[in-house]
Structure formats: C-alpha cells, structure tokens
Amino acid sequence: MFIPDIDKWQKLSKNNIDKVKRAMSDMPHPFIEETIQLFQNETLATKNKMIFIHFNHTNPILKKDSKASIKIKKLGFTFTDEGIKIEL
C-alpha cells in the first residue's frame, strides 16, 4: 500500500488500516499491461499523471531503449527512473 501523503491515520477507513497489517503476498497489484488497457482511451493529460514505479529486476522497461519502454512512452505513460524528481 503506497500512501505518500495522508492527513491523519485516523481519517483512513478501518479497511485501509487492516490492509497495512496484511502480508505483502496478499496485496496484489495490477500489471502494467492491465493499467495500459484500462486507461488506453483516456487523454494524454490523464495518462501523463500515471507513473509506474514498481518493477522487478528483469522487467525490460528498465532498459530505456527497449521495445517495451519505447512502446509505453509512445502510448503516453511514463515510469520512474532512479533520481526522478516530481514537482508538486
């Protein structure tokens, strides 16, 4: 569970607090392909708000010039890189 900016823990629902207690293996997350399919018809502005951040070390998108990396960028999505800075 990624919650980088919360006001107060007390404002989270009990369901969210219970999720934090769960084992990571019980916390699935969508694959990049699933996210791209879900948001493929959204505007470029919407897609640009999404930054993929979690990759295993064998994921081909880690190579900036890979076919997978180039395809994702052409579709309007982006992913993090070491040292990335995001202005708020």
74 part of a folded domain: yes
pTM: 0.61
**pLDDT grade, residue 70 (50/70/90)?**
very high
60 part of a folded domain: yes
Write down the mean pLDDT value for the chain: 80
- Residue 44, domain extent: 29-88
3 part of a folded domain: no
**pLDDT grade, residue 17 (50/70/90)?**
low
The total number of structural domains in the chain stands at 1
pLDDT of residue 25: 66
Tell me the per-residue pLDDT of 30-63, one tens digit each, with 9 for 90 and over.
788 888 999 999 999 998 888 888 787 888 888 8
The backbone torsions φ and ψ at residue 64, rounded to the nearest 5 degrees and listed phi first, read -60, -25
33 part of a folded domain: yes
Asked if residues 40 and 75 have their Cβ atoms less than 8 Å apart, the reply is: yes
69 part of a folded domain: yes
CA distance 88 to 70: 26
36 part of a folded domain: yes
